[in-house]
Chains A and B, each alone.
Chain A
């Protein structure tokens, strides 16, 4: 909503209130100021009166004008088509500097001397307010040739743009904004009662035949006008331009002006076009469904109240006989109907859907004034009126409860004063309790908390003392809090292991997920209005997003790309699962003195080691997952104990090529499984233990995990742990490979004897010989 200071001053006296105070007040009463801009007109731009206008001898499109600029007459060459004798115009005198550093100097145009420039609004840094040069008139103030335009209050105005919240339809007019200021400044709100200057003897009933079928949910007021001359004066044009509502067509301009001033929805119909056979305009009003109030001429739809008007029925400044309509419909009735029916709406719907001004006479009077300002119309003395039955809401106000909501005592007198200024009427019920009748333009107020909001904003939140709340003690360490803490630990460890945390969109591209064999949302639960093709579904993996991030990083020249993300993915049924996903692409280290500038590439061992730094102890088994990113011969399922936590893999060469990446390794793990279980300590043996190594020849294809499985099954009491320490493959070994294992033997009961050690090692060997055909190397 844009207003200007001089326009506000038609409704409220702002003397003694400077722009800074106005700015602060607007913000503190909940009308957020987006822009408060005093217009700065260049100096040496003055009012001029065109005394004579003749064609330039050598240029068809130029006029040579004699202009009175107060200091005498001067000759100015002007190219505008609308320069006319006797008009007042804006003249930039030599020495003036117009916006864009355009200095005005005496000049010769095609041989004719020109001592200044006749300006358009744009040339003066104002918005477009009419074609050609700017024609001034008395509506802007007394026209005195030679007077600086910057001295005219209505020209050097201040433009104020307010960002209104959705509930404040009542402030979609200059008058509505002034009403809020009147409560804030405790100053009266003016309302001018205006009668039309000329009235017509002809009654409206002789031209318009109004039929209303039953009660309707709308208020309507009709006045008929005989158009002698409809023009929009300079003030109306300028103000509309300043509030971004400029209309070239004069009648449209007058309607827009009166609506912007008062908030009343105003329309105009061309009676001649709509006249029926008997010379009457047969106006039919019918509520087709709740909130759908149609205005018809015979069978033709003229308009739907609050929604739109038929273009054909629209009157213009050329129409001879015009039917003016002011209307109001409750947005609570209107908006659901429009949503249901999907009706096309016009620009005024923005107002009617947020609540337009219900005082129709006020709007109509503003329209009379606008028509009379420079033009001439005869208005019918009688009018036609329809009023909906509407109950006024009354909200019970208990002052104690009001204080409790705000947290501070507000004196009763102050509460009364504020509500009165905002248009409420009060009925006292008991001590400290009263009923507040809500004004019809505040359709957003229903309960005591709504009233509290009004009081709080006018009193000013800055006047309320902050107070800590005495809270009720309770254990608030929730499951989510615990998970959050673990997640944070995990993130810190990933960072310590060299990874950068990424946050990517929870969306993915269906085609990409499909290409790599990840689950897609079932059609019955799919996203219906994606924002772009690349984000057209929910992601079922974080890997693809990280690979895309890696590709971008590579293009920025990054060679070492370690990324991780903890985030949600969605399965076919759209259930949400939290994943911890890591990607390491390219170099394993930064180039440095240590690696002579030739960092090694990431490899399986290095990648798994980083996982170990983050996750602690886990085991790897053959990969049970399949998707297009997994390398069939360098991939694994990761287990905590016997619980699978997810997969890790070298990036499949085809995928690596598709993403344009070097060697890359990925892991996608279930966050749930990573949450560490509770642990109890085991007794520590103080007896000396011993290490023994065994080198064994086994079949090439035999996974180490199989050997481990066989050894675990033996359940040997002395064998505390074992691990592989060497792998050797050679042609001389044929179809076999050599695996060296290291065993740690220890007893909790005493020092180990040579025999006991020997016995255990023999059991180990024989179990492997029998279990997987191993033999000593």
Chain B
């Protein structure tokens, strides 16, 4: 009975402690032996003896519980320590792929216009002369119609040279108001460092009844759009010419590489050309049978946006499935 406390304190493992528990608290243990003595204790001392014994039992129990807790914590710690890993070895195990920067840029562009309640529309890549040229006020002998620029097929159809025919198809299919974008691949017969025979455009068209739509509206939405895409850049509109819009403009942003100081990318001008736009030419409305409407249209090259946004130097690398380029966008 004397060294019971020492025994508990001396248990070095949960197994040891369990043996000690049986020795002390078990049916044949030391405490049971002491309680057995109770029946031999004279009546008047019985109470005090029992009380003393119970106190002793409680003390031992508390000591035991504390020891058990300590040993359990030690055992858990040992188990966990045995599971220790050098986590730094496991960096870079992620093997996610990546979206193509051109498609990802297109996604961003579409997101913007869908948030402004534009419908996304599409059309075929193989087009006819009417939808690709004639209805867009591209007269028969316009330089853009040269064999140099357009891919033709044996049956006289062609690969669309811009996404603008989707405008025509949409207008022929439905009545105004129209508020749409047409993202997609387009084709020009051009192949050098800065031209690929296929590239992507996003075209936009808004048509409303009456003379509601003005050039000032175009200026608002494109300025806002370019701020969304490029952040706080300056936006400049320059008058230009497109057969399907009048007045027409080209839109520049202040160079995002040099902040407008002039550098190699902006050919020292401080400006980067990013968009073409204009008020829809009345001849286009005439071609689709619209009367008494007004509208604006714009178009942009997705590759150009992607190259500027992600500082991609080489246009052609975008079409090579080059993982060295793509994995940078994981």
> Does the CB pair B220–A491 fall under 8 Å?
no
Pick from B119, B140, B237: contact of A477, CB below 8 A. Answer: B119
Pick from A477, A565, A592: contact of B93, CB below 8 A. Answer: A592
> Does the CB pair A30–B241 fall under 8 Å?
yes
> Does the CB pair A450–B246 fall under 8 Å?
yes
Closest to A456 in B: B247
> Does the CB pair A552–B322 fall under 8 Å?
yes
Complex Cα–Cα for A636 and B214 (A): 57
Complex Cα–Cα for A484 and B110 (A): 9
Question: B121 near A: Cβ within 8 Å?
Answer: yes
> Does the CB pair B319–A561 fall under 8 Å?
no
> Does the CB pair B282–A447 fall under 8 Å?
yes
Closest to A521 in B: B153
Complex Cα–Cα for A407 and B247 (A): 12
> Does the CB pair B121–A480 fall under 8 Å?
yes
Q: Which of A1-49 contact B (CB under 8 A)?
A: 27-30, 32-33
> Does the CB pair A457–B239 fall under 8 Å?
yes
Closest to B111 in A: A488
Pick from B93, B103, B121, B198: contact of A491, CB below 8 A. Answer: B103
Pick from A339, A476, A552: contact of B179, CB below 8 A. Answer: A476
Question: A634 near B: Cβ within 8 Å?
Answer: no
> Does the CB pair B217–A452 fall under 8 Å?
no
Complex Cα–Cα for A568 and B126 (A): 11
Complex Cα–Cα for A538 and B126 (A): 10
With A529-B189, A558-B323 already in contact, the answer to whether A465 and B216 are too (CB < 8 A) is: yes
Question: B291 near A: Cβ within 8 Å?
Answer: no
Count chain B residues whose beta carbon lies closer than 8 angstroms to a beta carbon of A: 86
With A499-B97, A501-B99, A504-B319 already in contact, the answer to whether A407 and B177 are too (CB < 8 A) is: no
CB neighbours of B110 from chain A (8 A): 484
CB neighbours of A491 from chain B (8 A): 99, 103
Question: A300 near B: Cβ within 8 Å?
Answer: no
CB neighbours of B319 from chain A (8 A): 503-505
Closest to B185 in A: A506
CB neighbours of B142 from chain A (8 A): 166
Pick from B97, B154, B237, B327: contact of A497, CB below 8 A. Answer: B97
Question: B61 near A: Cβ within 8 Å?
Answer: no
Question: A449 near B: Cβ within 8 Å?
Answer: yes
> Does the CB pair B198–A505 fall under 8 Å?
yes
Shortest CB distance B262–A (Å): 12
> Does the CB pair B246–A449 fall under 8 Å?
yes
CB neighbours of A546 from chain B (8 A): 321
> Does the CB pair A495–B198 fall under 8 Å?
no
Shortest CB distance B114–A (Å): 7
With A404-B294, A529-B152 already in contact, the answer to whether A500 and B97 are too (CB < 8 A) is: yes
**Binary flags per residue of B90-108, CB closer than 8 Å to A gives 1, else 0:** 1011011111101100010
CB neighbours of A496 from chain B (8 A): 96-97
Question: A553 near B: Cβ within 8 Å?
Answer: yes
> Does the CB pair A472–B208 fall under 8 Å?
yes
CB neighbours of A499 from chain B (8 A): 97
CB neighbours of A570 from chain B (8 A): 126
> Does the CB pair A553–B323 fall under 8 Å?
yes
**Binary flags per residue of A393-413, CB closer than 8 Å to B gives 1, else 0:** 000000001001111100000
Question: B26 near A: Cβ within 8 Å?
Answer: no
Complex Cα–Cα for A336 and B241 (A): 21
Closest to A548 in B: B321
CB neighbours of B211 from chain A (8 A): 401, 404-405
Complex Cα–Cα for A622 and B107 (A): 37
CB neighbours of A430 from chain B (8 A): none
> Does the CB pair A495–B96 fall under 8 Å?
yes
Closest to A34 in B: B267
Complex Cα–Cα for A500 and B102 (A): 13
Shortest CB distance A752–B (Å): 40
Question: A629 near B: Cβ within 8 Å?
Answer: no
CB neighbours of B25 from chain A (8 A): none
Pick from B154, B208, B294, B321: contact of A549, CB below 8 A. Answer: B321
Complex Cα–Cα for A564 and B97 (A): 10
Shortest CB distance B57–A (Å): 46
A-B contact pairs, 28 of them (CB 8 A): A27-B238, A166-B143, A404-B211, A405-B211, A465-B219, A468-B220, A470-B212, A478-B120, A498-B95, A502-B100, A503-B318, A505-B198, A525-B154, A526-B154, A527-B151, A527-B152, A527-B153, A527-B154, A531-B151, A553-B321, A553-B322, A553-B323, A563-B321, A568-B185, A574-B153, A576-B125, A589-B95, A590-B93
7 closest A-B pairs by CB:
A407-B216, A407-B214, A549-B321, A30-B239, A165-B241, A457-B239, A502-B321
Task: Please list the residues of chain B having a beta carbon within 8 angstroms of any beta carbon in chain A.
Answer: 89-90, 92-93, 95-100, 102-103, 107, 110, 114, 117-122, 124-126, 140-143, 147, 151-155, 157, 159, 177, 179-180, 183, 185, 187, 189-191, 196-198, 206, 208, 211-217, 219-221, 223, 236-241, 246-250, 269, 279, 281-282, 294, 318-324, 326-327
